[in-house]
Chain A
Amino acid sequence: MDITLITLLAVGLIFVLLAIGTPVFAALALSGAFGIIMSEDLSFLLSRLKSLPFSSAANYSLTVIPLFILMGAFAHQAQVGRRLFHVANKWVGHLPGGLAMAGILTSAGFAATSGSSVATAATVGAVAIPEMKRAGYDPRLAAGSVAAGGVLGVLIPPSVLLIFYAALTEVSAGKMLIAGFVPGILTTIVFMAGTAIVARHNIAARSPRAGWGERLRATGQAWQVLVLFLIVLGGIYLGLVTPTEAGAIGALAAFLMLVLSREGRRGLGGRLQESFRSTTTTTVMVLFTMIGAGIFSYFLTLAQVPQAVAEAIVGSGVPPLLVVGILLLLYIPLGMFLDAFSMMVITLPIMFPTVTGLGFDPIWFGILCVKMCEIGLITPPVGLNCFVIAGIDRDTPLSDVFRGALWFIAMEMVTVLILFFIPVITTWLPDTMMGR
């Protein structure tokens, strides 16, 4: 059978399997398996799968995932998220859509302690959604804002995805982490401005405006976030620890905060077990989605599909900046059904040399690449953040979560355009702090 036809059938199969409610990892794995069997044979597939489950998990660079999620889980159990939301509410709660903005600010703050988008969305969603619903917010705006806010988790350092990009392309991981900072702030600002526009006709209750003294006092209550921020980023920046080690130490610090906090001591055993267990199941879910995506992307790599597409774009003779633009746009269809890690593994071997070969800054492209991948976290049909929010807010159907996230996809495109046309926003901080 023709490889183009096999590819189309395999991609189609993903959508069919997802539509009938097959777990996502199985839909990806079986579609990939179908493609591999059609282009090679069953024994080829079975040989390939021998070491795949083990080697997918036995990967030191991925150990940051459970560690940062665990840190987030402890912080959540220690009510860090609730306090942070309380602080953010004092600052912006009186504005139109103020609670949604508070949720986004909370995400930005929590992102500074969590390396994972899913963990950020889950933690902030658990505190912000009930508050927004109580205030009479449109559930789509409530769910969409926290699902989208979660993407800040992989942009504002620490970030699993920024490090992953650095490892794949051999650019400096430290530079990538620092480069995420300013675009993270910009994303936050665009989200807040966009929320104000979306919510301008919002009739929901606003919080009373708080005085400056009250705002500052409230801010002091969120000291734990500052401590975790200092431990993680300070540790990495001062050269005391590697990112994985920062994750372990941050998790242990959050664990101590939980054990020592007044809220945490009540039912401590249950809280600990819950933190460990939810971290385990989230890690399994992420890893299995990666294994499924790994099988599917193995098929795509074997068939050399992304190469063919990327090479076609590169060889088309269009101007360099347009080439980069088209390559980035490619992430939207890919992001509909592939996870960010797989997308990077598949595409970067072709895209990265192309983009750097055209003379563009690898850090600038890296941040844009991460931004495009994070959009995939909130686009249907496979959007990890939206799944998590639908899991937390069981009254809002998944379709409404995706609908709410659409507004934020539009805002993300605005941010990407700004970053695309003004590279200095991305490159200024890393170049200033770490040299070119």
Chain B
Amino acid sequence: MERLNRALERVSHGLTWVALAFLGFMMVAITVDVVARALIGSAVPGLFEMTEMSMVMVVFMGLGATLVDDGHIRVTLMTDALPLHLSRGLAALGWILAALTFLLLAWPATQEAAYSFSIREFRWGYFHVPVWWAKIATAFGLWFAALQALVHAAMIATGRIAPDPRESASH
């Protein structure tokens, strides 16, 4: 299981770079658009749509890093007060529920991605920007997050990770 966990972390590391690239793109491209409008009086065609797609990529490619960095908010007020085996069990349950949520989103998102690809969906405007690839990335990011959350739950349940990362940080 630890091997699987490490493999997932490596994949999430790769996905994070994709997310960072799109975040950087948003910052630079929007600035370039403003400069282009000021200097040559013309907006960059398709940029509006690409900015929205970038946001999608930042969110769904950054999901893995968010779990690794403990970025999702949780309330550990009550569970912290419980004996370790109980708080461990509840934390594992919490992550199983997170995995369930990702699954609940991943399955319909996959249907949506398949439909979008089948019609080669694009966004309107002066310039046609294809969007089906971002819908595929959305579904992929969600499936990956579901798997990652399940493995995370298993790691906590078997005592390989502390139920609350803060405790491991303070040791």
Q: Which of B152-171 contact A (CB under 8 A)?
A: 163-164, 166, 169-170
Q: Name the CB-closest residue of B to A279.
A: B23
Closest to B106 in A: A53
B interface SS class: helix
The answer to the question of A285 belonging to the interface, with a C-beta cut-off of 8 Å to chain B, is: yes
CB-based nearest B residue for A273 = B20
Cβ of A384 under 8 Å from chain B: yes
Sorting the interface of chain B by its residue count into under 10, 10 to 19, 20 to 34 or 35 or more gives 35 or more
Q: Is B105 part of the binding interface, using a Cβ–Cβ cutoff of 8 Å?
A: yes
Q: With A23-B98, A277-B20, A280-B19 as known contacts, state yes or no: A53 contacts B60, CB within 8 Å.
A: yes
* Choice from A23, A53, A251, A398 contacting B72 with Cβ under 8 Å: A23
Complex contacts, A27 vs chain B, CB 8 Å: 97
Contact in complex: B30, A24 (CB < 8 Å): no
B170→A29 contact, CB < 8 A: no
Contact of A384 among B24, B33, B73, B94 (CB under 8 A): B73
B40 within 8 A of A: no
Stretch of A13-21, A186-194, A219-227, A424-432 lying at the B interface: A13-21
Supposing A53-B105, A66-B23, A66-B26 touch, asked if A58 and B75 sit within 8 A by C-beta, the answer is no
Complex CA gap A282/B164 in Å reads 19
Q: Which of A226-264 contact B (CB under 8 A)?
A: 240-241, 244-245, 247-249, 251-252, 255
Q: Which residues of B have CB within 8 Å of A244?
A: 30, 51
Residue of A nearest to B57 (CB): A57
Q: Which of A19, A45, A54, A273 is within 8 Å of B112, CB to CB?
A: A54
Q: Which of B114-167 contact A (CB under 8 A)?
A: 131, 134-135, 138, 142, 163-164, 166
Query: Can you name the residue of chain A whose Cβ is closest to the Cβ of B21?
Result: A276
Question: Are B90 and A21 within 8 A (Cβ)?
Answer: yes
Complex alpha-carbon distance, A33 and B97, angstroms: 12
Chain B hits for A283, CB < 8 A: 23, 58-59, 62
Say yes or no: B52 contacts A284, CB within 8 Å: no
The answer to whether A19 and B78 have CB atoms under 8 Å apart is: yes
When C-beta atoms are compared, the residue in chain B nearest to A395 turns out to be B170
Q: B101 at the A/B interface (Cβ < 8 Å)?
A: yes
Ordered by A's residue number, 14 sampled pairs between the chains whose C-beta atoms are within 8 Å are A20-B78, A21-B74, A30-B97, A50-B109, A60-B52, A63-B55, A245-B34, A248-B34, A249-B31, A285-B66, A288-B63, A387-B73, A397-B77, A398-B77
Query: Which residues of chain B have a CB within 8 Å of any CB of chain A?
Result: 16, 19-20, 23-24, 26-31, 33-34, 38, 48, 51-56, 58-60, 62-63, 65-66, 69-80, 87, 90-91, 93-95, 97-98, 100-101, 104-105, 107-109, 111-112, 131, 134-135, 138, 142, 163-164, 166, 169-170
